[in-house]
A and B are shown apart, each in its own frame.
Chain A
């Protein structure tokens, strides 16, 4: 079953604008990861935020995590046409540990971002 739910399902903006995508989940997590997928290709890892972190930055990406609300957001600043893709959040369960048991990611259905030149 899908744990993460991205919002909105689709987002269309102009180049240079910021894009914000949200993700909600249901159970306790070890970490939350954001991925990008271009037109049916593989997933590209963007950023990982751990359950004890509240905000993380990577280049033009900013991710926040609110474990009390079980939600996360991904902000892409100064968007470019090349950012056009589907974006997914994925959660790793709290039961995961370094011994490696139960390591699996649960994905949301994704947000389709279109950046118009």
Chain B
């Protein structure tokens, strides 16, 4: 079974630009979550999608947005990039079961804003 796939693996963008990151979850998983990891703030929850609906959002500005498609693939978009957006962006997919479920992560997209 293929794991969670994130593309691209690395990105370099200029301040003010926008960027779109992609995540393909494990087949059959309908929940996709996004996390930002920085040395200063650690791993922080961005948002979670389930059946194309955003159900939960972390404490990030509106420049961060996302969506999920009918095949469960997800994209996140960051507009008007700032230097502080440089981070490793991780996507996780989950099956979601009653008694707890693991979240499986992709390798991440390393975004550098210059």
The reply to whether the CB of B94 lies closer than 8 angstroms to some CB of chain A is yes
The reply to whether the CB of A100 lies closer than 8 angstroms to some CB of chain B is yes
Please tell me which stretch of B13-21, B64-72, B77-85, B101-109 contacts chain A, meaning at least 4 of its Cβ atoms lie within 8 angstroms of it.
B101-109
Contact with A along B1-33 (1 / 0, CB 8 A): 000101000000000000000000000001101
Contact with A along B27-49 (1 / 0, CB 8 A): 00011010100000011110010
| Interface size of A in residues (CB-CB distance below 8 Å) | 29
The reply to whether the CB of A80 lies closer than 8 angstroms to some CB of chain B is no
Question: In the docked arrangement, what's the CA distance between A107 and B50, Å?
Answer: 21
Size bin of chain B's contact surface: 20 to 34
B56 touches A102 (CB 8 A): yes
A104 touches B45 (CB 8 A): yes
The reply to whether the CB of A60 lies closer than 8 angstroms to some CB of chain B is no
Q: Interface SS of chain B: helix, strand, loop or mixed?
A: strand
The reply to whether the CB of A62 lies closer than 8 angstroms to some CB of chain B is no
The reply to whether the CB of A115 lies closer than 8 angstroms to some CB of chain B is no
CB contacts under 8 Å to B, within A74-102, are 88, 90, 92, 97-98, 100-102
Closest residue to A109 on the B side, CB-wise? B42
CB contacts under 8 Å to A, within B76-114, are 88, 90, 92, 94, 96-108, 110
Known: A43-B90, A103-B48, A107-B43. 11 other contacts (CB 8 A): A30-B100, A40-B110, A41-B108, A42-B106, A48-B102, A50-B99, A98-B97, A101-B56, A105-B92, A107-B42, A109-B42
